[in-house]
Structure 1
Amino acid sequence: MVITRVDQTILIQASDSVIMQAIQKLIDYINVLEITAQNQGTEEQAAELARQIDQSWWQANKARFLPLSW
């Protein structure tokens, strides 16, 4: 495998023996690292967002988990 950089482009050259799904997972992981490095949010903001998402999800899905009221 050969990895080269030309200006703003990174080129990955691999033989046929390399599993493309593994390469894609690696690229996805690098993308996550890049996104999290740019994150400006606080831990408190993340906790509030998670709480809102949980609340929203529960409102949309609670009928699937609770028995019908008579």
Structure 2
Amino acid sequence: MIIERTPDEIIFRFPKNISLDDLQDLTDLFEYKELTRKTKVAQKDVDDLVKTIKKGRWERTKQQLDK
């Protein structure tokens, strides 16, 4: 992997055999970091949101399994 900084951008170079799924994960991480860079949220609020999402997902999954 090579990281190159130009006056206008930063360029990441990967070998052509790298997994596209891994690249997508990396892209998602960078996008997340950019979107949350200026966000001021308490960790407890994040934890509560994750808990709510997981509970909702489990409820939907449980309903599908009961069918």
Number of residues of Structure 1 aligned to a counterpart in Structure 2: 62
| Percentage identity across paired residues of the two chains | 13
5+ residue gaps, structure 2, are none
Q: TM-score, normalised by structure 2?
A: 0.52
Give the greater-gyration-radius structure (CA). 1
CA-atom RMSD in angstroms: 3.6
Q: Letter of the 1:44 partner, please give it.
A: K
Partner of residue 33, structure 2: 35
- Give structure 1 regions of 4+ aligned residues with deviation exceeding 4 angstroms: none
Q: TM-score, normalised by structure 1?
A: 0.50
SS class of match (1:3) = strand
- Quote the offset at 1:2 in angstroms: 4.6
